[in-house]
Structure 1
Amino acid sequence: MRQDDLYINKIDWISIAIYAVLVIIGWINIYAAVYDEQSIKSIFDFSINSGKQLVWIGTAVLLITVIMVADYRLFENLALILYGFFIILLIITPFIGKEVNGQILSVGFGNFRIQPAEFAKFATALALAKVMERPIFDLGQIKYQIQAIAVIMVPVILIMLQPDTGTAMVYFAFFIMLYREGMPQWYYVLGLSFVAITLLSLGIENNLYLAIAVGVIILILILLGKKKIPRILSLIGIGILIVGYSYSIDYVVSKLPEHQQNRIMVLFNPNLDPLGVGWNVTQSKIAIGSGGFFGKGYLEGTQTKFDFVPEQHTDFIFCTLGEEFGWLGSFVVIGLFCALLIRLVMLAERQKNRFSRIYGYCVISILLFHFMINIAMTVGLFPVVGIPLPFFSYGGSSLWSFTILLFIFIKLDSHRIQLLSRIG
């Protein structure tokens, strides 16, 4: 058997097939989101978003071809160079980028523009894999924890300066990978505690109830460390810090931009401003709910056709699916995403090369975070933060970045035998 035939047989065609199905379903839903009965245009019309998305899909296929024919060692060798390149792009974006809705997100020339923050995701994933692949790298030690966290936080800080809070949040998904690779659990217990305190502080107005809730969380933390007295003392100190933090939430939120404050408050009180800040989520939930079990039919969604939901072809694309294909269509798409994520976990776990495994879990972390937050956002379980649905939402930067992220891992997996021989 020729070497090329052996390589083709090792490609994970299951992941590629799921990717292709998601991209196609996303494309036809983008057309539904911009469909206008008064001026019916073909889905292939390049003057509307579906036609433009088809161009992005075509160029994504070219990117896939380049990735799959490239030397698999190239990605490891260029990992830090790519990371440095996109860090430089993030630094200069506020100075040369185009401003949209108060955010400076894209750079480029003329009509060709890209969002460096989107592409920096796969570069950060490669950099983390490169930094952490060393045999001596141990996340149980502080110095190595600092190194990994620093790789993540540099792009986070630069993206926050644009400012793009939603995209910056995505980079914290890499902590899922760090957990798999041995980051101490107390980081996650403490982090989840602060998240819980934040939500309780925003959602509970009665100070007595808030104090009881905070006390329960502190008690749980102390019980988790009951076997070690020093840990109890440290957790008491952390408890005091949490109490102070819980009563400072209002101050912290007051320092956010006004539109972000409103989005947070609408999450806890959807009726706060139903015709203003809460409009998107309210109309999105109406669209999804009106779809019923089987949906209203393709191109028959009234919420979609009459543009009740802003940004429906991008961040709120899932509500188009829910309205026109109903619960059944939504279930199928969610099932496809879950199948892809489960498949990627299987691929990551079979990697014997540490670089490939770490990168694989970075891919899983990013896709999982986007998938969960986007859908939670459209049904009102998370503030609107502008996070696209992978392979589904309209946009060249989004589709390209997710495609590159996924297919680099598929490429590495297809060469897992060669990668194993390099460390053998």
Structure 2
Amino acid sequence: MRESDININRVDWITVMIYFTLVIIGWFNIYAAVYDGQAEKSIFDFSINSGKQLVWIGTAIAIIIVVMAADYRLYENLSIYLYLTFLVLLVLTPFVGKEVNGQVLSIGVGSFRIQPGEFAKFATALALAKFMERPTFDLSKRSYQLKAFGVLMLPVILILLQPDTGTAMVYFSLLIMFYREGLPQYYYVLAFGGIAVTLLALGIENNLYLSGAIIAIVILLIVLGKKSWQRILAFSLIGVGVIIYIYSIDFVVSKLPEHQQNRIMVLFNPDLDPLGVGWNVTQSKIAIGSGGLAGKGYLQGTQTKFDFVPEQHTDFIFCTLGEEFGWLGSFVVISLFVALLYRLIIMAERQKTRFTRIYGYCVISIILFHFMINIAMTIGLFPVVGIPLPFFSYGGSSLWSFTILLFIFIKMDSSRAMQLGRLG
């Protein structure tokens, strides 16, 4: 039997069907987001976003064919070269890219433009998988940790220079893969502790109260614990370090662009400026809440028709779904994403090589992060950072990058029998 026949028979068609279901539902919602109720433009009209998205979908199908037709070993062999190529593109973007709203995210010629930061995700995932696949690689050792974080942080630093905080944040989702591959748990304890302190520092206006609480906790730990000078010194240094970190947060936030500062303020005080910086999130929550159980019906969303929610076809596409299809429609789409992630976990765990398993968990991490943060943005649980909903939001770079990311893994999974043969 030929290799191509084996691959076709071993393709995880459930995952493929979930992908196309999400893409099609997203396409219909993009049309709903631009439908104004008066101009009877067809969903296939190339002058509106739904028609343009149809072109992106068609080219995504062509990309799928190319990805699935290629030899699975190609992705491993080219991993480092792809990573270096996109690092170069990220370096060039601020100099030759197009500026939009104070950010330089895309490069290209004429109307054809791509966002290197989006495509660098799959390249970074492949590079990490290649770098970490060696049997001697051990994430419990500090030297290997530093090297792995170095591979991860290079694109993050270059993306922050654009500046694009939202896309840069996505790369930290790969810590989920690091956890699966053996990164010590205390890193995650420190990370979650840091997140908790950060949220408290941002949410409490007067840092003196928070600092006083930390001092009280340190004193309590010293009193209740053993009275050794090492313990007293350790707790005291930790307390001082946390207090310094709290005050440094204010300094860092003060250096952020004004619109990002406003987004953080609105997160903790949604009623701060409902007609200004809080407009997007306020209107998004109104749209989702007005959908009720079953929604207002397809193309019947009033928030959509009167353009109350900006960027409703991209970052806030989920509120279109919530308004027109209600809780039931939202539940169906969320269930599809959960099912996709579940299938990807099964696929990752059944791999025969460490390279494919690591890449699979990178795919899981990136899709999970986008899915959770995008929905959290639309309901006011996370600052607006420009994170698209995978396979759903309008845009060629987003759809293409997620398609490549996912189908490289599907291709690898379909070839796992040949990988086992190579190992044997």
> Is the partner of 1:38 in helix, strand or coil?
coil
**Partner of 1:343 in structure 2?**
343
Consecutive unaligned residues of structure 2, counting only runs of 5 or more, are: none
Q: Given the superposition, is the C-alpha separation of residues 221 and 116 from structure 1 closer, same or farther in structure 2, using an over 3 Å criterion?
A: farther
> What TM-score do the two structures reach when normalised by structure 1?
0.95
Equivalent residue letter for 1:146: L
**Partner of 1:419 in structure 2?**
419
> Is the partner of 2:38 in helix, strand or coil?
helix
Matched residue count: 421
Deviation at 1:38, TM superposition (A): 2.1
Matches of 2:416 and 2:200 in 1, distance apart?
A: 46
**Partner of 1:92 in structure 2?**
92
The yes-or-no answer on 1:357 pairing with 2:357 is: yes
Give matches, 1:249-398, under 5 Å: 249-398=249-398
Deviation at 1:209, TM superposition (A): 4.5
Deviation at 1:240, TM superposition (A): 2.6
Deviation larger for 18-27 or 198-207 = 198-207
Q: Given the superposition, is the C-alpha separation of residues 3 and 202 from structure 1 closer, same or farther in structure 2, using an over 3 Å criterion?
A: closer
**Partner of 1:149 in structure 2?**
149
Q: Given the superposition, is the C-alpha separation of residues 216 and 115 from structure 1 closer, same or farther in structure 2, using an over 3 Å criterion?
A: farther
Deviation at 1:234, TM superposition (A): 5.5
Equivalent residue letter for 1:131: F
**Partner of 2:80 in structure 1?**
80
Deviation at 1:206, TM superposition (A): 4.5
Q: Given the superposition, is the C-alpha separation of residues 216 and 46 from structure 1 closer, same or farther in structure 2, using an over 3 Å criterion?
A: farther
Equivalent residue letter for 2:378: T
**Does the 8 A contact of 1:193 with 1:217 survive in 2?**
no
Equivalent residue letter for 1:279: W
Matches of 2:8 and 2:25 in 1, distance apart?
A: 26
Deviation at 1:186, TM superposition (A): 1.2
Equivalent residue letter for 2:400: W
Deviation at 1:205, TM superposition (A): 2.6
Matches of 2:159 and 2:150 in 1, distance apart?
A: 14
Cα RMSD (Å) = 2.1
Deviation at 1:418, TM superposition (A): 1.2
Deviations along 1:300-359, one digit per CA (max 9) or x if unpaired, are 000011100000000000000000000000000000000000110111011120000000
Deviation at 1:243, TM superposition (A): 1.8
Q: Given the superposition, is the C-alpha separation of residues 243 and 160 from structure 1 closer, same or farther in structure 2, using an over 3 Å criterion?
A: same
**Partner of 2:241 in structure 1?**
241
Deviation at 1:86, TM superposition (A): 0.2
Deviations along 1:371-417, one digit per CA (max 9) or x if unpaired, are 00000000000000000000000000000000000000000000111
Consecutive unaligned residues of structure 1, counting only runs of 5 or more, are: none
Q: Given the superposition, is the C-alpha separation of residues 30 and 389 from structure 1 closer, same or farther in structure 2, using an over 3 Å criterion?
A: same
**Partner of 2:30 in structure 1?**
30
Deviation at 1:182, TM superposition (A): 0.5
Matches of 1:213 and 1:389 in 2, distance apart?
A: 39
Matches of 1:237 and 1:62 in 2, distance apart?
A: 58
The yes-or-no answer on 1:122 pairing with 2:122 is: yes
**Does the 8 A contact of 1:341 with 1:364 survive in 2?**
yes
Q: Given the superposition, is the C-alpha separation of residues 203 and 68 from structure 1 closer, same or farther in structure 2, using an over 3 Å criterion?
A: same
Deviation at 1:39, TM superposition (A): 1.3
Q: Given the superposition, is the C-alpha separation of residues 234 and 115 from structure 1 closer, same or farther in structure 2, using an over 3 Å criterion?
A: farther
> Is the partner of 2:99 in helix, strand or coil?
strand
The yes-or-no answer on 1:7 pairing with 2:7 is: yes
Equivalent residue letter for 1:267: L
Matches of 1:219 and 1:298 in 2, distance apart?
A: 60
Deviation at 1:239, TM superposition (A): 3.7
Equivalent residue letter for 2:4: D
> What TM-score do the two structures reach when normalised by structure 2?
0.95
Q: Given the superposition, is the C-alpha separation of residues 387 and 235 from structure 1 closer, same or farther in structure 2, using an over 3 Å criterion?
A: farther
Deviations along 1:117-169, one digit per CA (max 9) or x if unpaired, are 00000000000000000111100111110111011100000000001111111
Equivalent residue letter for 1:304: T
**Partner of 1:63 in structure 2?**
63
Deviations along 1:5-48, one digit per CA (max 9) or x if unpaired, are 32211100010000000000000000000002221100000000
> Is the partner of 1:357 in helix, strand or coil?
helix
> Is the partner of 2:296 in helix, strand or coil?
coil
Q: Given the superposition, is the C-alpha separation of residues 68 and 217 from structure 1 closer, same or farther in structure 2, using an over 3 Å criterion?
A: farther
Deviation at 1:280, TM superposition (A): 0.2
Give matches, 1:220-239, under 5 Å: 237-239=237-239
> Is the partner of 1:408 in helix, strand or coil?
helix
**Does the 8 A contact of 1:197 with 1:214 survive in 2?**
no
Deviation at 1:211, TM superposition (A): 3.4
Q: Given the superposition, is the C-alpha separation of residues 305 and 86 from structure 1 closer, same or farther in structure 2, using an over 3 Å criterion?
A: same
Q: Given the superposition, is the C-alpha separation of residues 48 and 292 from structure 1 closer, same or farther in structure 2, using an over 3 Å criterion?
A: same
Equivalent residue letter for 2:159: I
**Does the 8 A contact of 2:12 with 2:414 survive in 1?**
yes
Deviation at 1:72, TM superposition (A): 0.4
Matches of 2:306 and 2:376 in 1, distance apart?
A: 23
Matches of 1:213 and 1:106 in 2, distance apart?
A: 46
> Is the partner of 1:390 in helix, strand or coil?
coil
